[in-house]
Structure 1
C-alpha cells in the first residue's frame, strides 16, 4: 500500500483525509513513479469543491503535478525507462508516495534541476508559458499580469521577461519587493487600478494575462486597446464579455523540457516559498486555499 492524501466527498477541507491505496500498475500511456515532490495549486482545492466539473471516483487523491523516479512503464510508452528521474501531470493524483504520470505530459528531469523545482512546472509554469504565448505580445511591448505574485503569475513574469517583454502586475503592496525580484513593476489592485496602470504605461498595455477575473479584469481592460490580447486562466465568462478569451492549453513533453532547461540555466526560478512533508498536506492546502500564497508551494515526499 502507498500513503496518499485526498478527499472522500466533494466540499470543503473537512472532506480531506489520508488514504492508503494499492500500488498502481501503469496502463497504456502511463508511467508508474515513486513520488519525490508534488506541486500544490489552486486547481486542487477547486476540484475537491466540485467547481470544475471534474467527476472523480471517490475517494480521490489530490494533486496535479509530480516529480519522481520511474518504477515501471506502461504498454506503448517510449522514451522513458525505469530509473529515469521525471516530472509531469499526475493521472492519478500527486499527493502520494506512488502514482502514475501521463507519458504525453511528462519529461525527463535534468540533473541540475531538483525534484522540488521540477514538480512546480507541469501546471503553474506550463500554464504561464501557454498564457504568454496566447496573449501574443512580443519584445519591447508591455504585458499586464493581474495577480502576479502567485505561482502562475511569477512564472509568467519571468518567461515574458526572458523574451524581452516589459511586465507590470497587480499585487498587494506587501509583495512590492517580491514582484520587483521577478523583473516586474508592482501595482496595487482594487479601486483606481486603471489610473495606476496608466501612470506606468501612459499609452496603455499591449496584452493582459488575467489570473483573478471579475471586477479586477473589467477595471484593467480599459487600458488595453486590442481586447483579443486579453487571456484569462480563471474566468472565461468575463474574458469573453471583454472581448478576450480563455487560455488554450498545449502542454507537451517538449514544453516541459524547455521549461526545465530555463530552470537549469537560472532564467526561471519557481520561487518555492512553502515546503511541507506529505504528513502536513492539509496545511499546504489551507495556505493555497487562503489565496495568500506567494510563488509556489510543494510537498516533499519520499
Structure 2
C-alpha cells in the first residue's frame, strides 16, 4: 500500500483526504515510478470541483490529485523500450501524482537530465510544456509583442521565458505583488484588475500582436479587445470563452519530444522553472491552497520521497 492525497467527492477542500491505495501495476506502455516530486497546477483543484477535461472519461472516486511527477522507475510494463529500472524520469501521470507511486505513459515521459533536480523536473510536464506549446502555436516573428495574462503563475512564468528566448517582446499581466518576478523575467509588467486594456495600451502603444491567456473570464475578454486578429488569441484557462471570442485553446502536443525540449531549455538556463514553494506530501493541502487561492509566485511543488 502507498499513501496518496485524493478527493473523495466533488466540491471544495472538505472533500480532500489522504488515502492508502495499492501500488499501481504498470500496464502496456507504462512505467511505475517512485515519486520524488509532484507539480501543483490550477487544474488539480478544478478537477476536484467537478470540471472534466474535454474528451475525458468520467472520474472514478477517490481520485488522486496531480498530473506531473518526477521520480525513479521501479517497474516497467509490457512493450516498454528505452527505460530501465532505476532511471530518473519525469512526465505526465495516470491516476495522480500526489502519491508515493505513480504511473507514467512512456509517450509523455522522458529521462531526467542529471543537471536538473527532481523538483524542477516535476514543474515541466504541464506548466512549462503548456507554455512551450502555446508560444509555438502562435508562431510570432522575432520582435512581435505578446501579452501574457497570469504571468506570475507556473505556466505564465514559463511562457514569458520561452517567448523572450524566441526574441519576442512580452507584456505580462499579474498582481502588483508579482511585479518584481515578472520584470525579472524580462517582461513589461501590467497590474491586473479593472481597466486592464487601457493599461496594456499605455505599456504597448504600438499594440500587441498576440495574447496568451492563463486566467480566462473577464481578463480574457479584456485582452481580446486589444487584438484585431483573434486567431492570435489563445488560452489555457477558458475554452468556452475563447471560442466565443474567436480564439482557440492551447493545442497540447503531449509528447516525450516536447519534454526533452523543455528539459534542455531548463538545463541551459533559458527556462528557469521558478519553483518558489516546496511542501512535503504531508502538507499537500497547503500546497494546493497556495495555488487555488492565487498566492503562489511561480511554481509550487510537493516533495514525496528522498
Deviation at 1:79, TM superposition (A): 1.2
Q: In 2, Cα distance between the equivalents of 1:220 and 1:247?
A: 16
Q: In 1, Cα distance between the equivalents of 2:177 and 2:245?
A: 29
In structure 1, the residue matched to 2:21 is 21
In structure 2, the residue matched to 1:76 is 79
Q: In 1, Cα distance between the equivalents of 2:196 and 2:63?
A: 40
In structure 2, the residue matched to 1:40 is 40
Q: In 2, Cα distance between the equivalents of 1:96 and 1:126?
A: 22
Q: In 1, Cα distance between the equivalents of 2:261 and 2:142?
A: 19
Deviation at 1:222, TM superposition (A): 2.1
Deviation at 1:243, TM superposition (A): 1.6
Among 193, 196, 218, which residue is 2:221 paired with? Answer: 218
In structure 2, the residue matched to 1:189 is 192
Equivalent residue of 2:132, what SS? helix
Q: In 1, Cα distance between the equivalents of 2:59 and 2:218?
A: 32
Equivalent residue of 1:104, what SS? helix
Give aligned pairs, total. Answer: 302
Among 191, 202, 205, which residue is 1:202 paired with? Answer: 205
Q: In 2, Cα distance between the equivalents of 1:220 and 1:109?
A: 37
Equivalent residue of 1:81, what SS? coil
Deviation at 1:246, TM superposition (A): 1.2
Deviations 1:90-146 (A, max 9, x none): 112101111111111110000000000000000111111111112221211000001
Deviations 1:136-177 (A, max 9, x none): 212110000011100000000000111111111111112111
TM-score by length of 2: 0.96
Q: In 1, Cα distance between the equivalents of 2:221 and 2:249?
A: 15
Structure 1: unaligned runs, 5 residues or longer? none
Is the Cα–Cα contact under 8 Å of residues 92 and 101 in structure 1 kept in the other structure?
Answer: no
Is the Cα–Cα contact under 8 Å of residues 26 and 72 in structure 1 kept in the other structure?
Answer: yes
Is the Cα–Cα contact under 8 Å of residues 136 and 229 in structure 1 kept in the other structure?
Answer: no
In structure 2, the residue matched to 1:131 is 134
Q: In 1, Cα distance between the equivalents of 2:214 and 2:132?
A: 13
Equivalent residue of 1:297, what SS? strand
Is the Cα–Cα contact under 8 Å of residues 190 and 203 in structure 2 kept in the other structure?
Answer: no
Equivalent residue of 2:182, what SS? helix
Equivalent residue of 2:119, what SS? helix
Among 87, 94, 109, which residue is 2:97 paired with? Answer: 94
- RMSD of aligned residue pairs (Cα, Å): 1.1
Q: In 2, Cα distance between the equivalents of 1:222 and 1:12?
A: 33
Provide closer, same or farther for how the CA distance between residues 238 and 57 of structure 1 changes in structure 2, counting only shifts above 3 A. closer
Q: Does 1:278 align with 2:281?
A: yes
Deviation at 1:209, TM superposition (A): 0.4
Q: In 2, Cα distance between the equivalents of 1:218 and 1:115?
A: 37
Deviation at 1:220, TM superposition (A): 2.0
In structure 2, the residue matched to 1:8 is 8
Q: Does 1:252 align with 2:228?
A: no
Structure 2: unaligned runs, 5 residues or longer? none
Is the Cα–Cα contact under 8 Å of residues 136 and 207 in structure 1 kept in the other structure?
Answer: no
In structure 2, the residue matched to 1:64 is 67
Q: In 1, Cα distance between the equivalents of 2:195 and 2:5?
A: 42
Deviation at 1:190, TM superposition (A): 2.1
Equivalent residue of 2:192, what SS? coil
